[in-house]
Amino acid sequence: MNSPTISRLRTEWQALGTAPPSSAACHRLAEIEPLVAHLEVNNLAELISALSLSSGRLSSREAAAVIAAMLRGADADVLIPRAIIQALIPGVLALPQRIDTAVGPWCDLDAFYADAISALWELTTSWSGTHRPYAAGDLLSAVRTRLRTLQATERRHRCRQTSTPDPLDTLPASIGRTGEELLAAALVDATGHGLTIADAAVLYATRVLGMSLAEVADRAGVPTGHLRRQRRNAIDRLVA
């Protein structure tokens, strides 16, 4: 898919990734992150190339660990968050498989990618310096949540235009809090008042973080059917 947004990023990276500042950033990162030092790369472009499965240097699990190390050490240089964006472009390109881009505020697929990259940049810079073992998956899951929130906002706007109220419009209005924050707050309030922590965690992971039940099941080592029942229990408790 020839997306102008993605093409610009890749063209920009060809210049940034091999420039002297990139070499300096890579060396700073290697000094504090042994996983990066072990790769013996000379600049961030070589580091991103090593993360590609097609390079044959790293398994998917090893590549994920390196991205987690990059996020953890991202405060060492301003170019490191940009390198993380570059590493996650394949994940961004896969997002339309999980989100119906026709239902939303996007006039075309490139507009969708532009919003996805903007959200990814904001999240990466916000999480820089934090330890997240599943950094790549967490970042992309959070981007999906942001985009689905945009979808929900667009649906409510269209419903108001057609004078057909969306069920979400019956909720009390709030200023400055996202749908994810409202749900998270509701889960906190309900936990301990009939809602178990385990059930709340499943709903939080799937509706706030944007993870699929399969992803949660894989990480938790729990059957998907069991998680589906827990999520239903949590929803029933919240609307009771």
Q: What is the pLDDT of residues 133-183, one digit of tens each?
A: 999 999 999 999 989 888 887 666 566 555 555 444 444 444 444 555 556
Mean residue pLDDT across the chain:
83
pLDDT of 172: 46
Question: Would you call 223 exposed, middle or buried from its count of C-beta atoms within 10 A (0-12, 13-18, 19+)?
Answer: exposed
176: phi > 0 → left, psi -120 to 50 → alpha, else beta; which?
left
Which residues lie across from 144 on neighbouring strands? none
CA distance 238 to 224: 21
Write out pLDDT tens, residues 46-95: 999 999 988 899 999 999 999 999 999 999 999 999 999 999 999 999 99
CA distance 170 to 198: 28
CB atoms within 10 A of CB 172: 5
- Structural domains present in the chain: 4-150 (no CATH), 172-239 (1.10.10)
pLDDT of 162: 56
CA atoms within 13 A on the CB side of 50: 24
Q: Is the pLDDT of residue 121 over 80?
A: yes
Q: Is the pLDDT of residue 238 over 90?
A: no
pLDDT of 60: 92
Q: What is the mean pLDDT of residues 10-38?
A: 96
Q: Is the pLDDT of residue 201 over 80?
A: no
pLDDT of 174: 41
Write out pLDDT tens, residues 181-200: 556 655 555 555 667 767 77
